[in-house]
Amino acid sequence: MTGKNAVETLSFEEALGELEGIVRGLETGEAPLEDSIGAYERGIALRKHCEGKLRDAQAKIEKISSIGQDGSVQTQPLDPEE
């Protein structure tokens, strides 16, 4: 495990990087069982954190709904169901 910072304080990139490191470490199977369980639990928290960050970012994205003849752009909130 690369860090012990509170998951909530990590940026998306930091959390994703740490999660990737945990996955690589678990794939080797070399860590003791207790360490693997702890890493797995932290990995779950990191995954949830990353998903939340992605949801927040997606909610901020707007899609272009039309472009006026004068070049003006009309937007509306992104509808994730589309």
**pLDDT tens sequence across 48-68:** 999 999 988 877 776 666 777
**CATH T-level assignment (fold) for domain 7-77:** Helix Hairpins (1.10.287)
> What is the band of 9 on the pLDDT scale with cuts at 50, 70, 90?
very high
Is 46 within 8 Å of 18 (Cβ atoms)? yes
Q: 49-69 burial, b for 16+ CB within 10 Å, e for fewer?
A: bbeebeeeeeeeeeeeeeeee
pLDDT, residue 1, reads 43
> What pLDDT shows up at residue 37?
96
d(CA 15, CA 78): 25
Residue 62: predicted pLDDT: 67
